[in-house]
Structure 1
Amino acid sequence: MSEPILAVRGLHTAIRTPSGPLEILRGVDLEVDRGETLAVVGESGSGKSFTALSIAGLLPAGAEVTSGQVLLEGRDLVALREPERRTVRGAEVGMVYQDPMTSLNPMMRIGRQVTEGLRAHGWSKDAARDRAVTVLGEVGLPSPQALMRLYPHQLSGGMRQRVLIACAIAPRPKVLIADEPTTALDVTIQQQIIQLVARLRDEYGIAVVWITHDLGVVARIADRVAVVYAGRVTELARTRALFATPHHPYTDGLLRSLPTPGDPHQAPLPQIGGSPVALSALPPGCPFAPRCAQRQDRCDTEEPPLIDRAGSRAACWVPREDWRAPSAGVTSRA
């Protein structure tokens, strides 16, 4: 088998606090192949966005990767100095953010915002402009020549999100990281963006890392899924396999909380009991144990690694066939 285009190995990221470093990512392992979409899912605060920022080298002040590797075609991006990392960021690893109104500069015309990254990576002025017009058309925006002269406030939310995608793919990156790119959009525009990214992935052979909390989106776009909890991957599986038979109680709880479309008599939706664990006060064993109905004595003392489970990998000591019902400490929502 060929090596994945992007491989994250044992990634640890921490932020500085008055009481010392606080680990946000605790040994994240991921990989994605060319032309594949990997969805990274989990509750707010699980470490999804920090994973994306660590891969792209865009961590905020006070945060840093403390150990591990981010391998792009075998080259470790963590080991690069910042000037070298700038040559990779944008050109080889593109990033699409959640809110285009805060990501696009309201004082700059669309044309300049698309060409800016290209010029930074050595494209000539004319070549960058021609590429900008082409890529704005490729993402489905009408009259790209005229659009180049407009400002972000003159576009709809869906058009602004397409501009962000155009900015990210204009240099023809090898990896596209999309951090909650459809959250602020209505359902119709959301579906259009999902289809757009899937088409661009297939046409360009881009590897896509899609960060989201929306399992409905995951089911429509992802080839594989990494479920993140407390700064670690707790389950990694093919999308169909994960939805059919989750092997971690946390994943099972997330899936059970999904509504059934078209069921007018659906019972109250279940929810995972308790609250996400604080990273500053992790328990000595499995971080999900305080919320888990499947916990055993070993879960309170040893944190499990990712264990092969029938084609999936799950960080759980208890095989699914030994689970008690109900699963995952799930309780009904009143």
Structure 2
Amino acid sequence: MTAGGVEGTTDAVGAAADADGEAVLAVRDLRASVSSGAGREVPIVRGVSFDVRAGETVALVGESGSGKSFTALALMGLLPDGARITCGSVRLGGRDLLGLDARARRASRGADIAMIYQDPMTSLNPLMRVGDQVVEGLEAHGTRGSAARRRTLDALAEVSLPDPERLARSYPHQLSGGQRQRVMIAMAVALRPRVLIADEPTTALDVTIQQQILTLVDSLARRTGLAVIWITHDLGVVARIARRVLVMYAGRLVESGPSRALFRTPQHPYTTGLLRSLPPMRGDERPPLPQVGGAPPDIAALPAGCAFHPRCPQRIDQCVREEPVLEQRGTNLAACWVPRGRWV
């Protein structure tokens, strides 16, 4: 493999998909950028490749600003003004979503691939009853009248909301945080999409409600074959819900692998730093938590070589000069010039 290339990454991801079965969603070399005020384009997503299979939950983790949500918006075709996809493919059901025109992409959004957003209170319309908001999405995709109303009540029941008929007449402010999040999930799954992107949907919820939402999404995935991409910075959530983990830093994946293998034997120093920052579950005396030194880089002024090298305790001269590609490290893929066996 050559430094900075993507061929090795794409080949490795494809081989993993073949080993575990056909992917529902196959992302290859996805790149997206935004236009800066100086008239140049700043890359935000830099050559991301991964697969998600039916009934599988894949977690996308990393610090704030690593590009997780931007990747999700690129997959959904919801990039803000001034942003655009510059390269790659997103294949779902045999079609490349990036090759669809605006009308076909709008028809696919919600029906084939759907998204749950971080804060349901700002995502729901405060002036509309929640049932009408679910109906609105159904009607936009051709389900109308009594059929849309029936499907709305069914969707609310599927997410374990009590008395769907009464709840459908409520306004968002009349519901608890957990109920609002369940309504958002009902809106997302009402059209029975094949892929669900959950962008930190439990961040604002207390631990008890958070666990209920995790259990609900996991149940939906197992029961319906829904492929889930769970975006989070909470590794505790990852351990409970995800089969595989994708670790993102400065707009690209630096490690990926099965959850157990990645938690047990991380192959990238950044992943190791994230895991070390988890508080211990047992013990009366808890030492200060280790931190990943420094701060995430300015995406508009990335350092040469590996973007993590200014913060990395394992860096060597090659890290400063050349950007590594994802390579096989046991059951994981990792983009690091220094094998774990040579770490200090």
TM-score range, shorter chain: over 0.9
Report whether the alignment pairs 1:68 with 2:68.
no
Equivalent residue for 1:118? Answer: 138
Deviations 1:254-301 (A, max 9, x none): 000100113221111000111111111111100000100111111111
Equivalent residue for 1:11? Answer: 30
Q: Report the residue type matching 1:16 in the other structure.
A: S
Report whether the alignment pairs 1:253 with 2:273.
yes
Equivalent residue for 2:198? Answer: 178
Sequence identity (%): 60
Give the Cα separation in 1 of the matches to 2:37 and 2:149: 47
Q: Report the residue type matching 2:298 in the other structure.
A: A
Equivalent residue for 1:211? Answer: 231
Deviations 1:177-213 (A, max 9, x none): 0000000000000000000000011111000000000
Match of 2:97 among 77, 88, 104: 77
Structure 1 residue 65, shift from structure 2 partner: 0.7
Cα root mean square deviation, aligned = 0.8
3-state SS, counterpart of residue 303 of structure 2:
coil
Report whether the alignment pairs 1:28 with 2:45.
no
Report whether the alignment pairs 1:49 with 2:80.
no
Structure 1 residue 3, shift from structure 2 partner: 2.5
Structure 1 residue 172, shift from structure 2 partner: 0.2
Give the Cα separation in 2 of the matches to 1:150 and 1:34: 34
- Unpaired stretches in structure 1, ≥5 consecutive residues: 325-334
Equivalent residue for 2:326? Answer: 306
3-state SS, counterpart of residue 271 of structure 1:
coil
Q: Report the residue type matching 1:65 in the other structure.
A: I
Give the Cα separation in 2 of the matches to 1:46 and 1:225: 15
Deviations 1:42-84 (A, max 9, x none): 0000000001111111111111111111111231111111111
**TM superposition outliers: structure 1 runs of 4+ over 3 Å:** none
3-state SS, counterpart of residue 15 of structure 1:
strand
Q: Report the residue type matching 1:5 in the other structure.
A: V
Report whether the alignment pairs 1:240 with 2:260.
yes
Q: Identify the range of structure 1 (251-260 vs 121-130) with the bigger mean alpha-carbon deviation.
A: 121-130
Q: Identify the range of structure 1 (46-55 vs 65-74) with the bigger mean alpha-carbon deviation.
A: 65-74
- Unpaired stretches in structure 2, ≥5 consecutive residues: 1-17
Deviations 1:156-179 (A, max 9, x none): 000000000000000000000000
Give the Cα separation in 2 of the matches to 1:63 and 1:281: 17
Equivalent residue for 1:332? Answer: none
Give the Cα separation in 1 of the matches to 2:93 and 2:305: 35
Equivalent residue for 1:228? Answer: 248
Give the Cα separation in 1 of the matches to 2:159 and 2:140: 22
Give the Cα separation in 2 of the matches to 1:83 and 1:260: 50
Q: Report the residue type matching 1:172 in the other structure.
A: R
Structure 1 residue 125, shift from structure 2 partner: 1.4
Equivalent residue for 1:95? Answer: 115
Give the Cα separation in 2 of the matches to 1:202 and 1:116: 27
Equivalent residue for 1:321? Answer: 341
Give the Cα separation in 2 of the matches to 1:217 and 1:96: 16
Match of 1:39 among 59, 71, 77: 59
Q: Identify the range of structure 1 (70-79 vs 47-56) with the bigger mean alpha-carbon deviation.
A: 70-79
Give the Cα separation in 2 of the matches to 1:241 and 1:125: 49
Match of 2:167 among 124, 136, 147: 147
3-state SS, counterpart of residue 270 of structure 1:
coil
Give the Cα separation in 1 of the matches to 2:327 and 2:93: 26
Give the Cα separation in 1 of the matches to 2:335 and 2:227: 25
Structure 1 residue 225, shift from structure 2 partner: 0.2
Give the Cα separation in 1 of the matches to 2:336 and 2:94: 30
3-state SS, counterpart of residue 272 of structure 1:
coil
Q: How many residues align?
A: 324
Give the Cα separation in 2 of the matches to 1:111 and 1:105: 11
Give the Cα separation in 1 of the matches to 2:166 and 2:88: 46
Query: Normalising by structure 2, what TM-score?
Result: 0.93
Report whether the alignment pairs 1:138 with 2:184.
no
1:150-169 to structure 2, matched below 5 A, reads 150-169=170-189
Q: Is the 8 A contact 1:3 1:73 kept in 2?
A: no
Match of 2:219 among 188, 196, 199: 199
Give the Cα separation in 2 of the matches to 1:115 and 1:93: 18
3-state SS, counterpart of residue 4 of structure 1:
coil
